[in-house]
Amino acid sequence: MNTHEFDEIRPYEEGEMKQALNDLLADRHFNKMMQGMAPWLPKGIRNGFFKLMFIGVKTPLDFQLRFMKHVVRYVLRKYAHGYSFDHKSISNKGNYLFISNHRDIVLDSAILDLMLHEAHFPTTCEIALGDNLLIYPWIKILVRMNKAFIVRRSLKAKEMLESSVLMSRYMHYAIAEKKENIWIAQREGRAKDSSDHTQDSVLKMLALGGEGTIVEKLKALNIVPLTISYEYDPCDYLKAQEFQLKRDDPSWKKSKQDDLDNMRIGIFGFKGHVHYHTSTPVNTWIDELKDLPKTEVYKEIAQRLDKAIHAGYKLYPGNYIAYDKLNGTSTFSQYYGEREKNVFDKYVSQQIAKIDIPNKDEAFLRERILTMYANPVVNKLQTETK
How high is the mean pLDDT in each 10-residue block of the chain (386 residues)?
87 92 88 70 74 86 91 94 96 95 90 96 90 85 92 82 93 96 89 91 95 96 97 96 96 86 91 98 96 92 97 98 97 97 98 96 98 97 83
Taking the C-alpha atoms of residue 313 and residue 245, their distance in angstroms, rounded to an integer, is 29
Strands laid side by side in the 181-185 sheet:
83-86, 274-278, 223-230, 97-100, 181-185, 125-130, 148-151
- Residue 342 · residue 203 · CB < 8 Å: no
Radius of gyration of the chain (CA): 21
Residue 88, judged by CB atoms within 10 A of its CB (0-12, 13-18, 19+), counts as: exposed
pLDDT at position 344: 98
Taking the C-alpha atoms of residue 339 and residue 153, their distance in angstroms, rounded to an integer, is 45
pLDDT at position 170: 95
pLDDT at position 153: 78
Closest CA to 181 of 151, 212, 222: 222
Contacts of 275 (CB under 8 A, 6+ apart): 83, 84, 85, 86, 228, 229, 314
Give the amino acid at 92.
Answer: N
Give the amino acid at 373.
Answer: Y
Q: Where are the domains of the chain?
A: 3-19+60-234+269-314, 318-385
Domain at 3-19+60-234+269-314, CATH class: alpha beta
DSSP state of 101: -
pTM of the model: 0.92
Taking the C-alpha atoms of residue 347 and residue 316, their distance in angstroms, rounded to an integer, is 14
Question: What secondary structure does DSSP assign to 286-309, as a single string?
Answer: GGGGTTS-HHHHHHHHHHHHHHHH
pLDDT at position 288: 96
pLDDT at position 192: 87
pLDDT at position 1: 66
